[in-house]
Every structure is written in C-alpha cells, then in structure tokens.
Amino acid sequence: MPRYGDAESVMWFDVEPFCMFHLINCFEEGDEVVVQGLRSADSVIPGPRLNKQEILPERSELKKDGKAMKQGINEKLFSRLFEWRLNLKTKTVSGEYLTGTECSLEFPMINNHYTGVRHSYGYAQIVDSLTRSASSSEKVLPKYGGFAKLCLEERENTETSAEDLIKMEIHRLSEDEFCSGASFVPRVGGSHEDDGWIISFVHNERTNTSQVHIIDTQKFEGAPVAKITLPQRVPYGFHGTFVHNNIHGHVNTRSEKKLDNLKFIY
C-alpha cells in the first residue's frame, strides 16, 4: 500500500507458504519493495501440522566427559535469511535465500537508524537446540549459543554452493552458555553503520550465573569488550531495547562515559 494510500490502493503478492516470526528490514529500491526476514518451512509453535515430539528433542544424553550432546535442528524449523522483492510496476515477486544451512537464525536486529532504508549489516542469535537436563524428561524450546553478523553487501562466492550467499561473521559463546535479549546499540557519533555493540544477557547453565556481554560489532569474532556478572538469574526470553536519552530532541552536553547516555527499556 502506498504511504498515503487507501484500501483501494492495496497490492497483494502471492508467495510460497512459509513461517516467519521476525522481519529484519524493509525498504524501497527503484520500482521494488525489498522485504528481508528469517524464513522457515513451519512454525516452532505446536499445531495441526507439528506436535511437540517433532519440534523438541528428547532427553539429552551425556558424553563421557559429562557434557550434554547437542541435538540437531528439525529441517522444517531451520530458519534462514530470505529476501523478497515486490515489483510494484510488474506486480511480480522474486526472492532468494541469503544465508546457508550452517546456522539457524532468529531474533534479528539492525542499527535502528537504518530502519526503512537500505542497510549493509544485520545481526541475529544462532539457534543451538539443547535439552535442559539429562536427569529430566522436561523438554525445552531451542536455545541460542552465539551471534551472527550478516554482511549484506558482501558475498561468499563459494564454488560449492549454487546460491549467492552473503558473508557471515560468527561470535560463539562458551560451552554451556546461552544468550537472549540481544540488542544493537550504536556508538554515539559513530561514523559507520556497524559502529556499535551487541549487548545481550548470557546464562551459564553449568555455573548457574547470568552476565551481560558487550561485543564490539567491528571486532565481532573477538572476545567481548566487557562481561558484567549479575546478582540474579535472568530468564531466557527476557528482552528490551536501548534508547538514547535525547530521543525527544534534548541534547545532553554533560561529559559522559560510553553507554552512559543510553537507557534500557523493558
């Protein structure tokens, strides 16, 4: 629908059925509207087509070293970055996968200054499906063992793949660590789109401690620039966002440390 359109100006585009929980971004490019999101064949929420046994792994088995074995991700639920192009002139739609099958991705984010316009980078949590305990039959939803940086303007150009996939950088968490609630926080006065940090809650299931990890997105595969141990457990799924304190137009002229002029909203 055009920005100032009405019900009569709505255009519909038919696409192959799929499931998508989260968009990354949408923007206009010439006669096309570009839609980017994380696409899977089916939903992780149990329903008529899938039951819990198909979605969730059975009880974990332990290796000889006492560590839990990782469970594979159901192919129906594997989520990859997909791009649709809706041509407003020809009323046709085309699309392609931008990421491969090495990582299943969810909970994407971008530099919010680029919402609605063409952008070069995105970030997402990497699915790492694991049962809660080897001594319990309780089943859990997939958990997230790291982060991916999506370099949308760079292609892998691998000879082994027929798909034209984008470059990805990976930040892996340590064994038994899982993340949730990640946000991208742009550096105030930063000169590049990816100048900022990923800030996320991280829980270590072996030590039962929660931390905040701060990752420099321009040194994405390196160690976090800071880890802040929290006095309480942060449950999986807790999330929020960061907003600058001059969001209403007020410019703070006080000398402040990095990140001090950002507020966490939940």
Give the model confidence (pLDDT) of 49-87 as tens digits: 545 555 444 333 444 454 444 555 677 888 999 999 999
Let me know if residue 172 belongs to a domain: yes
User: Could you give the residue ranges of the DSSP H alpha helices within the chain?
Assistant: 52-55
In contact, 200 and 179? CB cutoff 8 Å = yes
CA distances from 185 to 55, 67, 101, 110, 252 (A): 33, 34, 28, 9, 18
Check residue 184 and give its pLDDT. Answer: 96
Check residue 44 and give its pLDDT. Answer: 67
In contact, 27 and 117? CB cutoff 8 Å = yes
Let me know if residue 123 belongs to a domain: yes
pLDDT at 124 over 90: yes
239 is in an annotated binding site: yes
Let me know if residue 54 belongs to a domain: no
192 is in an annotated binding site: no
- Beta strand 177-186 pairing with 23-29: unpaired
| Other CB atoms within 10 Å distance of the CB of residue 237 | 10
Let me know if residue 251 belongs to a domain: no
In contact, 44 and 55? CB cutoff 8 Å = yes
Give the model confidence (pLDDT) of 129-140 as tens digits: 644 434 444 444
Check residue 46 and give its pLDDT. Answer: 56
Let me know if residue 152 belongs to a domain: yes
Let me know if residue 165 belongs to a domain: yes
| Other CB atoms within 10 Å distance of the CB of residue 77 | 20
Give the model confidence (pLDDT) of 165-216 as tens digits: 999 999 999 989 999 999 999 998 898 999 999 999 999 989 999 999 999 9
Number of domains in the chain: 1
Check residue 108 and give its pLDDT. Answer: 96
Domain that holds residue 125: 101-230
Let me know if residue 60 belongs to a domain: no
Let me know if residue 127 belongs to a domain: yes
pTM, two decimal places: 0.80
For residue 217, give the nearest of 198, 202, 200 by alpha carbon: 198
